[in-house]
A and B are shown apart, each in its own frame.
Chain A
């Protein structure tokens, strides 16, 4: 996904002036930040379906298909707008060679949740832990994402 976006982003990054791209991304970042902080409510594009459980039992690649669809967010819900912001960043400002690093980070973040859930306990208590921490963690992650994006972009262009 990130690689496709990075390739597609080569065109606007080559044709659109950097200040314009930075301005567009800045507006998107402010909107996403406001959403994640709970100041502004708006819907983000999402497939809003769950991967059927029987997918993982299909042939020998079922589990891989299930993981791909859920891990990439292609067939699941999107509780956060941060992936959309990151996608916009990959298209608008992230250099092509750096895009795979963003993808690796995203995959690690997606992978962390089931690992943490299993490590926490066997009774599914992680869901309650996450729900209790969410009002703090979600804004914090948004600030980290937007802050890192801002610093990296400004450093690359200075």
Chain B
């Protein structure tokens, strides 16, 4: 699989989202709560989309 395909792979994207959440919490910044709110919606929207 090419690098581009790996970048678009669902597992890669989910792990990137997880890393973003961990990073936002670790940074303990003012924007942490808003970022987590977006992440919550993103995870739900992505999971609810199925294959299309």
**Does A89 count as interface, using CB distance less than 8 angstroms?**
yes
Could you say which of A7-15, A61-69, A102-110 contacts chain B? A102-110
Interface size class of A (residues with CB under 8 A): 35 or more
A111-B41 Cα distance, complex, nearest whole Å? 12
CB distance from A105 to the nearest CB of B (A): 3
Number of A-B contacts (CB under 8 A): 153
Which residue of B34, B36, B49 is within 8 Å of A112 (Cβ)?
Answer: B49
Interface residue SS majority, chain A: helix
Interface bin, chain B = 20 to 34
Q: A27 near B: Cβ within 8 Å?
A: no
CB within 8 Å for A151 and B44 given contacts A104-B38, A117-B52: no
Interface residues of B (CB under 8 A from A): 5, 8-11, 13-15, 17-18, 21, 25, 32-34, 36-52
Residues of A within 8 A of B (CB): 2, 36, 73, 77-80, 82-83, 85-86, 89, 94, 98, 101-114, 116-117, 119-120, 126-127, 129-131, 133-134, 136-138, 140-145, 147-149, 151-152, 155-156
